């Protein structure tokens, strides 16, 4: 177990280093720079700017300096918003994205699982058709269209909810729905097919033969087994959703982290590009790691063992 953990952590660090290196190289090879503008500045001024941000150091030195700061958990200042460090940007943006993401995950888990189980139990009845039609719809409508539609109807037409910005619970409703639509649909379909499969299994028949109540069969034997694919998907979903969505955050004017993934690249804000990439990758790998651990808790057949024991 200890060795397994050690191996995983080493892999994560190696992967992070690789990601940083590749991002660093690609980032510096695309045209443009953080101080490019339509109005050209005199060379003296360009020189002063580059001097200040060490952009005229050799690339190798910039790379080593970056790694050096990173080891001390210092992601550097943003080049565009110089009063904000990348650490600040993540510290301010991540909780917002994570709140919105958690709400969306909670919504999609509750609604998606429920819809999936009901569809499976009432296969080919109207409940099943309704749930699957809705799922297909939310699956195929892109989030920017859904966001726009939600805002148009609930904020503009009905004037029920605020159209944008962040801070009150009313403001969280529309973006949560926009963000949750796709995962809800996915979970519902995943759960439905997995549940249908499980319900065909012999051990369900055995349970029925033993005369267990339908509730126990569905919940303890059915759902617990059928939920495994959802757990796998959850690891992906958590990172995807908690770290924020550019589209939803920009449409609803939410000060989350998602927007920075895109904005920083458009700005060529080198430190922010690297910073959010590192944070994103670390978070992704950590979540995958946690999901692997979670399997052990959910599925008694899976055990963490060191390779030599196998």
Write the Ramachandran bin of 58: left for phi over 0, alpha for psi from -120 to 50, otherwise beta.
beta
Number of Cβ within 10 Å of residue 28's Cβ equals 14
Give yes or no for a contact between 258 and 166, defined as CB atoms under 8 angstroms apart.
no
The set of residues, in sequence order, having a beta carbon less than 8 Å from that of 214 and lying 6+ positions away, is: none
By CB under 8 A, tell whether 15 contacts other proteins: no
Give yes or no for a contact between 66 and 76, defined as CB atoms under 8 angstroms apart.
yes
By CB under 8 A, tell whether 40 contacts other proteins: yes
Site for other proteins in 176-215 (CB under 8 A): none
Site for other proteins in 262-281 (CB under 8 A): 266, 268
Nearer to other proteins, 163 or 196 (CB): 163
Q: What is the crossing angle of helices 143-150 and 169-199, to 10°?
A: 130
Q: Tokens 């200890």: give the residue.
A: 2
Nearer to other proteins, 132 or 188 (CB): 188
By CB under 8 A, tell whether 303 contacts other proteins: no
The b-or-e profile of 202-211 (16+ CB within 10 A means b, else e) is eebeebeeee
Give yes or no for a contact between 260 and 93, defined as CB atoms under 8 angstroms apart.
yes
The binder of other proteins chosen from 32, 67, 129, 206 (CB under 8 A):
32
The binder of other proteins chosen from 15, 16, 164, 204 (CB under 8 A):
164
CA angle 171, 175, 177 (to 5 degrees): 115
Site for other proteins in 87-116 (CB under 8 A): 92, 95-96, 98-99, 102-103, 105-106, 109
User: C-beta of 212: minimal distance to other proteins in Å?
Assistant: 21
Sketch the per residue contact string, 112 through 151, with other proteins: x for CB under 8 A, - otherwise: ------------------------------------x--x
By CB under 8 A, tell whether 244 contacts other proteins: no
Give yes or no for a contact between 178 and 252, defined as CB atoms under 8 angstroms apart.
yes
Total residues at interface with other proteins (CB under 8 A): 67
Q: Tokens 């993540």: give the residue.
A: 90
3-state secondary structure of 57: coil
By CB under 8 A, tell whether 229 contacts other proteins: no
The whole-angstrom separation of Cα 166 and Cα 43 is 42
The binder of other proteins chosen from 8, 28, 69, 84 (CB under 8 A):
84
User: C-beta of 80: minimal distance to other proteins in Å?
Assistant: 6
Give yes or no for a contact between 256 and 93, defined as CB atoms under 8 angstroms apart.
yes
Nearer to other proteins, 67 or 92 (CB): 92
By CB under 8 A, tell whether 45 contacts other proteins: yes
- Contact residues toward other proteins (CB under 8 A) are 30-33, 35-42, 44-45, 47-49, 51-53, 80-84, 92, 95-96, 98-99, 102-103, 105-106, 109, 148, 151-152, 155-156, 159, 162-168, 224, 227, 231, 234, 238, 242, 250-253, 255, 259, 266, 268, 290-291, 294, 297-298
């Amino acid at each position: 177990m200890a060795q397994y953990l050690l191996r995983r952590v080493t892999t994560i660090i190696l992967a992070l280093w690789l990601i940083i290196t590749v991002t660093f190289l690609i980032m510096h090879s695309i045209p443009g720079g953080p101080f490019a503008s339509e109005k050209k500045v005199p060379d003296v001024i360009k020189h002063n700017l580059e001097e200040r941000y060490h952009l005229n150091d050799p690339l190798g030195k910039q790379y080593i300096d970056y790694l050096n700061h990173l080891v001390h958990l210092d992601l550097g200042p943003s080049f565009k918003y110089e009063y904000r460090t990348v650490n600040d940007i993540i510290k301010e943006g991540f909780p917002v994205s994570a709140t919105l993401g958690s709400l969306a995950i909670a919504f999609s888990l509750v609604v998606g699982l429920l819809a999936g189980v009901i569809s499976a139990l009432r296969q080919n009845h109207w409940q099943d058709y309704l749930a699957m039609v809705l799922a297909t719809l939310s699956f195929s409508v892109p989030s920017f269209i859904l966001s726009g539609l939600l805002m148009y109807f609930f904020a503009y037409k009905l004037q029920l909810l605020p159209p944008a910005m962040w801070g009150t619970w009313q403001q969280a409703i529309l973006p949560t729905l926009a963000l949750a639509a796709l995962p809800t649909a996915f979970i519902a379909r995943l759960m439905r097919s997995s549940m249908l499969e499980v319900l065909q299994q012999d051990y369900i028949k055995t349970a029925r033969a033993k005369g267990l109540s339908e509730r126990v069969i569905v919940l303890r034997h059915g759902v617990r087994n059928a939920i495994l694919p959802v757990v796998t998907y959850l690891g992906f979903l958590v990172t995807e959703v908690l770290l924020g969505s550019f589209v939803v955050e920009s449409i609803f004017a939410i000060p989350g982290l998602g927007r920075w993934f895109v904005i920083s690249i458009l700005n060529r804000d080198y430190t922010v590009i690297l910073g959010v990439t590192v944070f994103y990758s670390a978070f992704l790998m950590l979540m995958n790691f946690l999901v692997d651990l979670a399997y052990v808790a959910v599925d008694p057949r899976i055990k963490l063992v060191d390779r030599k024991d196998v």
